[in-house]
């Protein structure tokens, strides 16, 4: 067994346990696969998606304070997070009017199937 995930600044026992359930047993594995892939594995293992947890993991692996993520960097991470959540859910991400139309059931089927 390698170094505990919780040895990385800003990553505690809850993240460590979620990563272990997702097949990321230690800090070395986390560093090797990176925050994005690790979070994808967590989502696939049933962890509920939270943007803060996503960017905190990115900051932690860079050795930065969790609240150091701001501006364009945070916006870019948000786009990656949303795309990841859509990918894991297996559905194209809908936004704006399409999201509203989908909610009431009137988005054309081909749009929902990537057409």
Segment 96-112 shows an average pLDDT of: 58
The pLDDT of residue 90 is: 67
- Helices 51-61, 71-89: axis angle to 10 degrees equals 120
- Cα–Cα distance between 12 and 20 in angstroms, integer? 12
pTM for the model stands at: 0.76
Mean pLDDT of the residues in the chain = 86
- Cα–Cα distance between 37 and 84 in angstroms, integer? 9
- Cα–Cα distance between 64 and 56 in angstroms, integer? 9
Q: Which CATH superfamily is domain 5-112 in?
A: 5' to 3' exonuclease, C-terminal subdomain (1.10.150.20)
Annotated domain spans of the chain = 5-112
pLDDT(25) > 80 = yes
- Coil, strand, or helix at residue 33? helix
Segment 6-15 shows an average pLDDT of: 96
Residue 27: left if φ>0, alpha if ψ -120 to 50, beta else—which one?
alpha
């Amino acid at each position: 067994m390698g170094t505990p995930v919780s040895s990385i600044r800003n990553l505690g026992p809850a993240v460590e346990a979620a990563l272990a359930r997702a097949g990321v047993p230690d800090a070395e594995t986390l560093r090797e696969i990176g925050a994005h892939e690790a979070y994808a594995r967590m989502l696939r293992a049933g962890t509920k998606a939270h943007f803060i947890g996503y960017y905190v993991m990115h900051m932690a692996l860079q050795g930065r304070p969790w609240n150091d993520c701001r501006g364009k960097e945070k916006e870019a991470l948000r786009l990656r997070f949303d795309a990841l959540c859509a990918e894991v859910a297996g559905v194209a991400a809908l936004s704006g009017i399409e999201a509203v139309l989908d909610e009431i059931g009137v988005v054309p089927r081909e749009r929902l199937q990537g057409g």
